[in-house]
Structure 1
Amino acid sequence: MFDGMHRRIVSIWFPRLASDRALRLRPVEAPFALSLTRARVERIHCLNLAADSRGLHRGMGLADARALCPDLLSRPADPAADARFLRALCRWATRYCPWAGIEGEDGLVLDITGAAHLFGGETEMLADMRARLLRAGIAARLGLAATRGAAWALARHGEGVAAPGADPLQALGHLPVRALRLEEDTAAALDRLGLRSVADLAARPRAPLARRFGPELLKRLDQALGAEAEAIAPLAEPPHYAVRLSLPDPIGLVSDVMAGTGRLLDALCARLKDRQDGARVLRLTLNRVDGDSRQVELRLARPLHEPARILPLFERGVAGVEAGFGIDRLRLEAVQVEPLPPCQTGFHGGDRTDGLDDLISRIGTRIGLENIRRFLPADSHIPERSFLIAPAAWSEPGGAWIVPHPRPLRLFPPEPIAGTGPQPPGRFRWRRMALETARATGPERIAPEWWLEDEAWRSGLRDYWRIETRQGRRLWLFHTPQAPGWFVQGEFA
């Protein structure tokens, strides 16, 4: 055994990390699930305890889940936000020890060797962790052992503590072989051979196991039992991007401040390029000689590290700064940074969307980036659900709408008109206008999406017609066969 047997490792598993994060923001008491689209099928990504008790499980189709649990509430999952939340939990865990790292997508690993006495002992430390996470509304299971693999196994397959100096096999022997962090195919194959527990696996000759399953199986077994060391990499602090410039004489002209900002941008963007990052939010702090300071914040539509594109966007903010008796120091900081790996460019040196992104950034400095939005296609044949409205700065163009028939440029809530029968009325009044039908194309029958809760579509089928009137209006009408009536819902250009 290596000397690392004296170490004490804590593994924290968050079985409902994604749903706990979402419910912290908007709590609900009903069954709740987060969904992700995989292979064009919306499936459950994570669910709360109430949904789990109703027989739902991860990977289940959302439509099947709604049929089994009609009162299920759901929201789209956000894996990026879940990853940020896990990193925040990792920083919180450093209150117990300096060596805290991330374990997969839903766990943490802590090396508490020599730190437990600061909390009154290991039992008191684990109790404090559980209590704080419970108050925060986060479900967690903890395992404590001498090795990382054993702690992982105890947290996920029988929450418990392996006493210091105890035989690891005695603590882990009753656990299933999946507790050794094996691939699902390997664990299933071992189960078919009758090797269902860690004790069963440890009792078998090693050579046949290595020949059949490869060295990874024995490596995981040795790591769990302490025969092979396994390092814990603490969470690295993100790089801090900030540069400053001190001036021998105060300045006050906009051109001088912009020249200084340009020098800072060159240095900052060089560091961003080295790490393949791009700035999303920049903050320029101007310190005046009277001790006061002014700040100019720039929010970009896309992460950038090109000084030539960023510098002109600062001009409006800098022009509105009161320099007072002069500015003697400038500080530029990248407040929000996102990965920006190199990409292939065309012969003209630049992406064709660069101009649009810069325009969005310029307008965003005046009205706010969140107020500039774009339409994105959605996978639905219901007219009201065939598009999404998303902030342009945080979304990509979704391509063209794929529809079997033309759709009007303007959509509005259905407006009733007078009409009888399944054929479009020859004459009708709409918005105080007397209109006469010149040409009618249709019908296009659209059925409700039964799996969605939409009161407007619960009435049944709709037969849509494209109507050209003699007065020049091109309207989109529909007829409801189950409750005869005519409505106008859109207008073509």
Structure 2
Amino acid sequence: MFDGINKRVVSMWFPRLASDRVLRQCPIEGPFALTVKADNTERLYCLNQVAEQVGLSRGMSFADARAFCPDLISRPARPDLDAPFLAVLRRWATRYCPWAGYEGTDGLVLDVTGAAHLWGGEAGMLDDMRARADRAGLELRLGVGETRGAAWARAHFGDVHSTLADLPVAALRIDGRMVVALQRLGLRRIGDLTATARAPLARRFGPELMLRLDQAMGDTSEPTMPESEPPHYATRMSLPEPIGLTEDVMGVTARLLAPLCDKLKAQEMGARSLCLTLRRVDQGCQMVELRLAAAMRDPARILPLFERGVGKVDAGFGIDQIRIEATVVEPLAVQQIGRRQASPDQLNDLITRIGTRIGLENIQRFLPADSHIPERAFSIAPAAFSTPERGWSTLRSRPSCLFPPESISASGSQPPAQFRWRRMRLTVGRATGPERIAPEWWLPDDNWRRGVRDYWKVDTREGRRLWLFYTPQNPGWFVQGEFT
């Protein structure tokens, strides 16, 4: 297609991608760094230009950095957020050419062959890249060459005008130990390698060095493959005549759900959130959002969940277009059929139906926590966004109803024969215990500062089954729970 046109590759390197992402949302004038824990040591992961100017560098321990620069402001690194941010930059880079791919975790590679004239030439295109990155608060370094390796070398170790032979051997994308070994032999620049016999280098350093050298010089091809766009899960239908009845809208929604769920199934994905957009003839839009308690792709289960929201839609003079989109998706593996297995589908559907009325976050479940303290042995999380992985593991049963300790009048270390609790006089029929629980000294908790507790399970003749405890250090009896 480009016969007679030299191939041109642009390497875009964002040396401060992680810190620039954070500082775009919360600008900081002074030294700033992101930290990550490696080998049980907190180290600097990415830092801004001010931090480098005061002498800090990547890989430095955070303790040394704070001692060297007390004004350093830090945040924990989030590589899981850096990758989506780089994906956004890749889509932005497609304005210059359709062939845009990733180069590591902080760079992009573009095949701009035949596209530079659209920007008034290669220099104009590069100037536009720099200007837009600067306005976005991103530091960008560019390299251009006829090969991917040459463009990468100029972006990381030179500039667009650098001669490849004058760049250091590290610009060949080789291992750091190989770089040190070459420097010890006096081979410090790429030009030194090209002037050296290949056979001795290949025997000493293996085929990797020769491959990287040939890729940079153009003797071995290295394709620039564009990244495929992620699947878009949406379907729509334009109607020849406006509709307004709930039954008609639900019928069209059912027709749109079928191909949408087929596409989700083909990708082994499930929808967690869907948006139904209803366009009226006056160009106004009504949206019905549906958040699901679990990933789904069954049209028969999803359709009834839209009915409540569709019933509240103001159709105006009629609806002439309906669009449904899965706005949040997650992996959902294919399930084996033909075996009778317990399915949580009914519970998830119930959570979704209730959640559309009061909010999914307000439907909560108890989850076990790693603690022997009764108050800390559980946590509360939204049922739609959590899954119980295991049950509570305890040698002794725990009451189903737990409340703050309530004092009762009793003496001695053994359970009293009679006592008053909540205006009731109770008689002990059987007492099981004691179970001694010691405080977790490493956690601050004023309720457990008095020391150990001896717990008893008490069955009263009146039918109450209570959980009592005795505090030996400061003698006293308390009721903390009730068995049902």
Identical aligned pairs, as a percentage?
43
- Counterpart of 1:101? 101
1:89 is the counterpart of 2:92: no
Displacement of 1:20 in angstroms is 5.0
Map Cα deviations across residues 296-332 of structure 1 (whole Å, 9 max, x no partner). 22222333322122112112222333445654x3423
- Counterpart of 2:391? 400
- Counterpart of 2:349? 358
CA distance in 2, matches of 1:282, 1:65: 47
Equivalenced residue count is 464
- Counterpart of 1:473? 466
- Residue type matched to 1:294 in 2? Q
- Residue type matched to 2:452 in 1? D
1:93-242 → structure 2 map (5 Å cutoff):
93-94=93-94, 99-111=99-111, 114=116, 117=120, 121=124, 124-125=127-128, 127-128=130-131, 131-134=134-137, 140=139, 142-146=141-145, 147-156=147-156, 158=157, 160-163=158-161, 167-171=163-167, 174-176=168-170, 179-182=171-174, 187-188=176-177, 191=180, 194=184, 197=188, 199=190, 202=194, 205-207=197-199, 210=202, 215-242=207-234
Map Cα deviations across residues 394-442 of structure 1 (whole Å, 9 max, x no partner). 4443333556776665677x769699x9979979999899999955534
CA distance in 2, matches of 1:226, 1:355: 61
Displacement of 1:263 in angstroms is 1.4
- Residue type matched to 1:109 in 2? V
Report the RMSD for the aligned CA atoms in angstroms: 5.4
CA distance in 2, matches of 1:323, 1:246: 15
1:46-85 → structure 2 map (5 Å cutoff):
46=45, 48=47, 79-85=79-85
Give the conservation status (yes or no) of the 8 Å contact 1:44–1:59: yes
1:239-254 → structure 2 map (5 Å cutoff):
239-247=231-239, 251-254=243-246
SS in 2 for 1:285: strand
Paired residue for 2:438, among 440, 445, 453? 445
Give the conservation status (yes or no) of the 8 Å contact 1:272–1:305: yes
- Residue type matched to 1:142 in 2? R
Give the conservation status (yes or no) of the 8 Å contact 1:447–1:462: no
CA distance in 2, matches of 1:66, 1:487: 50
CA distance in 1, matches of 2:73, 2:422: 39
With over 3 angstroms needed to count, the CA separation of the structure-2 counterparts of 1:405 and 1:124, relative to structure 1, is farther
With over 3 angstroms needed to count, the CA separation of the structure-2 counterparts of 1:145 and 1:403, relative to structure 1, is farther
- Residue type matched to 1:466 in 2? Y
CA distance in 2, matches of 1:337, 1:296: 15
The structure with more radius of gyration = 2
- Counterpart of 2:481? 491
* Structure 1 unaligned residues grouped into runs of 5+: none
Displacement of 1:230 in angstroms is 2.8
Map Cα deviations across residues 373-413 of structure 1 (whole Å, 9 max, x no partner). 4444556677776655444434443333556776665677x
SS in 2 for 1:314: helix
SS in 1 for 2:438: strand
* Structure-2-length-normalised TM-score: 0.71
* Structure-1-length-normalised TM-score: 0.70
With over 3 angstroms needed to count, the CA separation of the structure-2 counterparts of 1:133 and 1:242, relative to structure 1, is closer
Give the conservation status (yes or no) of the 8 Å contact 1:416–1:488: yes
With over 3 angstroms needed to count, the CA separation of the structure-2 counterparts of 1:276 and 1:406, relative to structure 1, is same
1:343 is the counterpart of 2:342: no
Give the conservation status (yes or no) of the 8 Å contact 1:360–1:372: yes
Map Cα deviations across residues 182-225 of structure 1 (whole Å, 9 max, x no partner). 4xxx5436645746855465555444555676544432232233
- Counterpart of 2:249? 257
CA distance in 1, matches of 2:233, 2:427: 66
CA distance in 2, matches of 1:457, 1:292: 58
